Chain A
Amino acid sequence: MRLIVGALCSVLALTAATAHAQAQADYPNKPIRILVPFAPGGFVDVAARIVGQKLSEKLGQQVIVENRPGGNGFIAVTAAARAPADGYTLLMAHSGEFVVNPAVFAATIPYNLERDFHAITLVSQAPMVLGAKSDGPYKTLADLAAAAKAKPGTVGMSTPGTGSINHLAGEWIGLSMGVKFLHVPYKGGAPAAVAISTGEVPFGMAAVSSAMPQIKAGRVNVLAITTAKKTPVDPSWPTAQEAGAKDVDLSIWSGLFAPKGVPQPIVDKLYAEVAAILQMPDVKEKFAAGGGEVGGMKPAEFTTQIKREGDQLKSIVQAANIKPE
């Protein structure tokens, strides 16, 4: 019995080997996998599926989105770093993996952007919003800061988790205004946003897409957004800097990466294709629906942005004393 199995295995192995020899000729000639560090449904997963579908139409090859959730993104990112550098395994990651994790986990993080990856391009980015209950006592960021100053550590702030980018954005706003909020973590963006509208917490830091249902229903007011630039979603929302939080500028983004060692022509080709896809009107529209603006910046620029944000957050993490226990 085991002989039969063994023989079958080796026959199969041989056929696969001959097929592989032709693989170098012109890229792509087999399906491409995009690893995603989240369960299906979040904005990174949706970004991967939108880009993946267009990429598949343009390249004439199937593009498969593979969800590898868990472990702060460590699972998907390390799997992508270890995958063969042939351009058939890509990674769609978000700020958490390459900006927040290095700042929070420092030495214990099992991957390194420059050592393990080529950044291909920024796919989309969006501000986070600081939302407060619309019939609550806080109408401006100044109100909130005054309350937190009067009673330090008692004004609750909901976020989608300890060490999430939303958490760090909230801490940054607190630091720059010289106050300390009470951090109340939730399991994911939607519950954290709902907690604002039920009055569980007086305010919270949410992605635009998570907070939008509550904002549209009139239950949550936006007191500030976390980027220095206004958002086209609603230009009347003040930026954190306008509202009094000096220097604060942080977005939440998704980006496409390839393992280090992928031949440069393939990286260039992928960049050109994805950059073109991001300019398509229907793609722009789909990202805009979640409050995002499409990216498309060159690999070098993207890497610079990641490093700049990473350095900023390192100082925030140190100042706010956030660490995994």
Chain B
Amino acid sequence: MDIFSNLVIGFSVAVTLKSLAYCFVGVFLGTLIGVLPGIGPVATVAMLLPLTFKLDPATSMIMLAGIYYGAQYGGSTTAILVNIPGESSSVVTTLDGYQMARQGRAGPALGIAAIGSFAAGTVATLIVALFSPPLATIALKFQPADYFSLMVFGLIGAVVLARGSLRKAIAMVVLGLLLGLVGTDVNSGVMRFTFGAPALAEGISFVALAMGMFGVAEVIYNLEQRGQDRQVFTSKLGRVLPSRAELSFSKWSIVRGTALGSILGILPGGGALLASFAAYTIEKKVARAPRDFGNGDIRGVAAPESANNAGAQTSFIPMLTLGIPSNPTMALMIGALMIQGIQPGPEVMTQRPELFWGIIASMWIGNLFLLMLNLPMIGLWVKLLAVPYRLLFPAILVFCCIGVFTINNNVFDLFQLVAFSGIGYVLLKLGCEPAPLVLGLVLGPMMEEYLRRALLISLGDPLVLLASPISAGFLIAAAALLVSIAVPAIRATREQAMKE
């Protein structure tokens, strides 16, 4: 059984007129909902589910998968143009992408996101094709203690996301962890800090928080300046595509991002979520001239976008081979497969090779479609920024509101948006950056869940965290990262204090 004949099977399924058409519909819809902030892939896949009842399994999966990774792709567009991250993975893209847009470099930012995503998608598709079964067993090796230590590592890395004060960045991570406590505690079933609101039982709405703290807070901040003083975006329209120099500058960032995203995407317990954050952190630590990060460094867009897309592709490995969904969209796709009478699992590969390899082949084709679809659109997006801000900002607010509402069809989420917009504005004024907070919010609940589960199963023995080599490795890496962040910062503070 060689990879070549498998891919032949795959492409013979994926390169039929019908498959190509549905693949295109999928990635087109995916891009569309990705660009419209907040309309998640979950809602879209759910709405198209009845349509798939009439299709054969391979075609329906090709379309649904297209929506999923198309949305990952499109999500970067609003993050770059108007600072609105529709999902956690595009939060990092706002850091440098939006700054680039303000400097008139929206084109190169969008371009590198598209090119980086395509490169990452191609590599990750190949990884899925070559190594699915052995990689799936790695996912099974991860125990609660290992996930906990991975989360600790991720949270310490979150501090690096900020460009300002270190102490404020740490405080933001902790504030994120505190906000993450809101909701039902998995281990005891207790509702914590919900103040009697049933809508908070599932926790704070991530989309409401991200849109409030990034998108709406930024709108309020921009509206402070009036008339001629307001220079949200430079008036000159820059290049539409990245230059050769920019491409070669971000080459290694794309490679590193792809590698990291591919690995983390395999872990179903929150790995793919970490991909873009981790890629940014690593880039800022290893790259030359890291000071530019946060001020419109193209590598700060290239690495997380590549990681994000690579992770989106490899997160199909646990789904197809183990039946473990990495996120709600995947859970929905498993639902779609089950309606078709197919149980995801290792036997899909042997019993339904046309389905398994067809999906893989279509992923690469879908990525190609995305590149062809997105590159010509960039010119249009860039022109959008020429619209006067006084006309643009009401539209941004309308999209934020619709996006937040449609996640749960619940008006309460809009009041959460109001709260987080206000908090975000105040924090912005106090020089506290929201990116570390977001990571704390996302990882905090999982970290607590895994730690308490690890201790529950070990009957309270804390050594379980060091007994596993994976967990011990992450904890050592976390400690090293902490030292590398803290030492220069402490030295700087001391020097400043001496000077006084």
Chain A interfacial positions (CB closer than 8 Å to B): 39-43, 45-46, 49-50, 52-53, 65-72, 74-75, 78, 154, 156, 161-163, 182, 184-188, 190-191, 194, 197-198, 200-201, 209, 212-214, 216-217, 285-286, 288-290, 324-325
Question: Contacts of B198 on A, CB cut-off 8 Å?
Answer: 70-72, 74-75, 78
Contact B345 A213 (CB under 8 A): yes
- Chain A: CB-nearest residue to B333: A41
Contact A45 B338 (CB under 8 A): no
Partner among A43, A78, A163 whose Cβ is within 8 Å of the Cβ of B189: A163
Are A46 and B186 CB-contacts (below 8 A) given A67-B46, A154-B459? Answer: no
Q: How far is the CB of B395 from chain A (nearest CB, A)?
A: 18
Question: Contacts of B340 on A, CB cut-off 8 Å?
Answer: 289
A75–B198 CA distance with the chains assembled, in angstroms: 7
- 14 A-B residue pairs with CB within 8 Å: A40-B332, A41-B328, A45-B46, A45-B335, A70-B202, A72-B198, A75-B199, A163-B189, A198-B141, A201-B457, A214-B323, A216-B345, A217-B347, A324-B190
- Chain A: CB-nearest residue to B203: A70
Contact A213 B408 (CB under 8 A): no
Contact A217 B409 (CB under 8 A): no
Are A184 and B453 CB-contacts (below 8 A) given A200-B143, A286-B339, A289-B338? Answer: yes
Task: Please give 6 more A-B residue pairs, beta carbons under 8 A apart, in addition to A41-B334, A163-B189, A213-B344.
Answer: A41-B46, A46-B335, A53-B50, A187-B449, A201-B457, A212-B345
Q: How far is the CB of A116 from chain B (nearest CB, A)?
A: 16
Is there a chain A Cβ closer than 8 Å to B378's Cβ?
no
Is there a chain A Cβ closer than 8 Å to B255's Cβ?
no
Are A212 and B42 CB-contacts (below 8 A) given A70-B202, A186-B186, A325-B190? Answer: no
A214–B346 CA distance with the chains assembled, in angstroms: 9
- Chain B: CB-nearest residue to A324: B189
Q: What's the interface size class on B, roughly?
A: 35 or more
Chain B interfacial positions (CB closer than 8 Å to A): 42-43, 45-46, 49-50, 53, 140-144, 184, 186-191, 198-202, 268-269, 322-325, 328, 331-332, 334-335, 338-347, 408-410, 449, 453, 456-457, 459
Contact A194 B189 (CB under 8 A): no
A70–B201 CA distance with the chains assembled, in angstroms: 6
Partner among A74, A285, A324 whose Cβ is within 8 Å of the Cβ of B341: A285
Q: How far is the CB of B54 from chain A (nearest CB, A)?
A: 10
A201–B454 CA distance with the chains assembled, in angstroms: 11
Contact B189 A162 (CB under 8 A): yes
A69–B459 CA distance with the chains assembled, in angstroms: 33
Are A40 and B343 CB-contacts (below 8 A) given A200-B144, A289-B338, A325-B188? Answer: no
Top 9 A-B pairs ranked by shortest CB distance? A213-B323, A71-B198, A162-B189, A40-B46, A41-B332, A213-B345, A71-B201, A41-B331, A70-B202
A71–B202 CA distance with the chains assembled, in angstroms: 6
Question: Contacts of A185 on B, CB cut-off 8 Å?
Answer: 186-187, 189
Q: How far is the CB of B32 from chain A (nearest CB, A)?
A: 18
Are A213 and B322 CB-contacts (below 8 A) given A67-B409, A68-B409? Answer: yes
Contact A289 B341 (CB under 8 A): yes
Contact A68 B190 (CB under 8 A): no
Partner among B190, B328, B344 whose Cβ is within 8 Å of the Cβ of A39: B328
Question: Contacts of B345 on A, CB cut-off 8 Å?
Answer: 212-214, 216-217
Partner among A188, A289, A324 whose Cβ is within 8 Å of the Cβ of B339: A289
Partner among A68, A161, A324 whose Cβ is within 8 Å of the Cβ of B410: A68
Contact A162 B339 (CB under 8 A): no
